[in-house]
Chains A and B, each alone.
Chain A
Amino acid sequence: MNAGLFFMTFVFVGALIIGIPIAFVLGLVPLLYLIFFRGIPLVAIASRLYGGIDNYTLLALPFFILAGNLMNHTGITRDLVNLSRLLVGRVRGALAQVNIIASVFFAGLTGAAVADTAALGSILIPAMVEEGYSREYSAAVTCTSSIIGPIIPPSIIMVIYASVTGESVGALFMGGFIPGLLIAASLMILAYYYAVKYNHPKRTERIEIKEALLIIARSMVALFVPVIIIGGILSGMFTPTEAAAIACFYAFLAGIFYYHTLTIKNIVDSLINAGIVSATILFIISTCQVFGMVLTLERIPEHIAQVMTTVVPNKYIFLLIVNVLFFFMGMIMETGASVILLAPILLPVATSFGIHPLHFALVMLVNLNVGLATPPVGVCLFTVTPIAKVPLERIIPKAMPFVAAEMVAVLVLSYVPDLVLFLPRLTGFID
């Protein structure tokens, strides 16, 4: 390891340990490196900061976040919960199953896990507690199932991945469907096991046909959002960015004219929140471009690729190693930041092993998302704690078996690429 690389590693790790936000770490490390080790004019940093975010694809970020915010203000969540109850309410441990199924439906609206945890948790955790589930278990099911949100399209994290690697957003969206359902299935199986073991309740009363039709009709308003987004992209009518903007418009119309719940204050708050959340991610992407410049100067991706191809015998071992790495990164770092940092470095290595770029993308995204429900920095865990009104350390042991089930799904996904590639191939995104 040369002096420059050693210096960068030391500053990078040290800066993270003392709590400097990742966006500043990604700017600070290359800045110090350029000052001390290279004679490159610092004005190069400014052009990189600008160039990194002058990207049309990234416009989808504020739109998807805004659409999710507007939806959260409408009351759509309760309709989705009712629909899930209608579908799986008579299974043993019904509310846990409802929680997972509702996350699948909710995933089609927002593309962010925290929104799912907050929206579904505030409705389903009290309901589960009332039916006799423990608060810890209810919180664990809510936060681990909410990671389905960023896997089933639309997905904010997929837009970020596409912007840093050049992968097609549409292909990523299509590739996310089956992995999302696989995660849901793994959770449902485990929840059912617990339901049988601990004799969890199920719905005994029948829902009248008239009421069932009403529930389905009301849910259609919410379920039309993914239809617009995916249908629009597949038909070539919209780009993913435009589809996201149309989803905002639809949420706005539904909130005002159908649900009658969207106020001026809600709209203003949603716009401001979308700006703040987008800016947090965009700022990381911007400074990461400077970091990327320094990595290229030091030829770090090349070195990593060289070491990997020498040491790692085949793609199966490589996938195992990266899965361990992603799981660890997901535990300590926010998903978006991990993607921005790792994807440009590891994607070329993966393709050199003959792994399809889209397959690698989904393995990475699904695995990193699992980290949203793991300590020490699982944001879904932090979100669910005040909702469930139970200490974090009591939720974690209940969540871990669900996290393990998700990791089994991730491994299945890693070694059966067709689970990811089937739909993008069917819809013509890949050959």
Chain B
Amino acid sequence: MINILKKASDLTYIIAKWIMFAYVLGVTILAIVGVFFRTMGSALSWNEELMRWLLIGIAYIGASVALKVQNHIGIEYFLLKMNKRTMKIAIIVGYIAIIVFLVITTKYTFQTALFARRQYGAILRVPMIWVKMNLPLGSIFMIVHMTYFFAGILREKENFRPYMISGGQEGEIKQ
């Protein structure tokens, strides 16, 4: 079971990573091209709007990538002071809370995205559903990773580090 969850998490990570890469590359090129055209005297009207949309994607798709690479910022100080049993319980409670948050977020951001299918960008007449879909998509990616981390913590008795979601591989766990 854990292997299937790991494969799903790894695959999700790869997909999300390259989507995020495309967004960052795209937004950088757009910004540079925008400055170039403006200094040439013909400012682009649409690039700022598109850049803001890409930023939304970077935030949510990137947040899922950050979750997988354990890059989210949390305070581990107290957790690392606990004994293993208490630590495991604390982590499990935390993960359930995060999964609940993500499921609710997915539901309502998806609803909001659906409402936006008849809304269009102010300059680029693109349906806003495509922009707002980044939020539920990123949240679903995060649910996949959280499910894997949650299963890993449930199973693990000694080394929790591979399944902890912040702090990377830093820090030591009290024996």
Interface residues on B, range: 35 or more
Count chain A residues whose beta carbon lies closer than 8 angstroms to a beta carbon of B: 61
B164 at the interface (CB under 8 A from A): yes
Distance in Å from the Cβ of B156 to the closest Cβ of chain A? 15
Bound together, the chains give a CA A243 to CA B75 distance in angstroms of 34
With A28-B98, A42-B108: A21-B55 Cβ-Cβ less than 8 Å: no
> In the complex, what residue of chain A is closest to B106 when comparing beta carbons?
A46
Q: Are the C-beta atoms of B52 and A376 separated by less than 8 Å? A: no
B144 at the interface (CB under 8 A from A): no
Bound together, the chains give a CA A332 to CA B79 distance in angstroms of 13
Q: Are the C-beta atoms of B71 and A15 separated by less than 8 Å? A: no
Within 8 A of B (CB), among A283-315: 283-286
Distance in Å from the Cβ of A213 to the closest Cβ of chain B? 33
With A28-B98, A46-B135: A279-B66 Cβ-Cβ less than 8 Å: yes
Find chain A residues with CB under 8 A from B76 CB: 19, 377
Distance in Å from the Cβ of B29 to the closest Cβ of chain A? 9
Within 8 A of A (CB), among B64-104: 65-66, 69, 71-79, 90-91, 93-94, 97-98, 100-101, 104
A24 at the interface (CB under 8 A from B): yes
B23 at the interface (CB under 8 A from A): yes
Contact of B35 among A49, A62, A246, A279 (CB under 8 A): A246
Bound together, the chains give a CA A49 to CA B72 distance in angstroms of 17
Contact with A along B1-32 (1 / 0, CB 8 A): 00000000000000001001101110110011
Q: Are the C-beta atoms of B25 and A21 separated by less than 8 Å? A: no
Bound together, the chains give a CA A237 to CA B34 distance in angstroms of 12
With A46-B111, A271-B24: A283-B59 Cβ-Cβ less than 8 Å: yes
Contact of B58 among A19, A28, A62 (CB under 8 A): A62
Q: Are the C-beta atoms of B65 and A276 separated by less than 8 Å? A: yes
Bound together, the chains give a CA A383 to CA B105 distance in angstroms of 34
Of B27, B63, B77, B132, chain A has the most CB atoms within 10 Å of the CB of B63
Stretch of A52-60, A132-140, A198-206, A401-409 with 4 or more beta carbons under 8 angstroms from chain B: A52-60
Q: Are the C-beta atoms of A238 and B21 separated by less than 8 Å? A: no
Q: Are the C-beta atoms of A16 and B72 separated by less than 8 Å? A: no
Distance in Å from the Cβ of A73 to the closest Cβ of chain B? 15
Q: Are the C-beta atoms of A28 and B71 separated by less than 8 Å? A: no
> In the complex, what residue of chain A is closest to B18 when comparing beta carbons?
A272
Query: Which 9 residue pairs spanning A and B have beta carbons closest together?
Result: A279-B62, A245-B31, A282-B59, A21-B72, A21-B74, A283-B63, A18-B90, A46-B112, A19-B79
> In the complex, what residue of chain B is closest to A337 when comparing beta carbons?
B73
With A23-B73, A59-B27: A49-B63 Cβ-Cβ less than 8 Å: no
Of A19, A50, A246, A268, chain B has the most CB atoms within 10 Å of the CB of A19
Distance in Å from the Cβ of B6 to the closest Cβ of chain A? 20
A167 at the interface (CB under 8 A from B): no
Known: A56-B52, A276-B65. 18 other contacts (CB 8 A): A19-B76, A19-B94, A21-B74, A22-B74, A27-B101, A53-B59, A66-B24, A248-B28, A268-B21, A272-B17, A272-B20, A274-B24, A278-B58, A279-B58, A279-B62, A280-B73, A285-B59, A286-B60
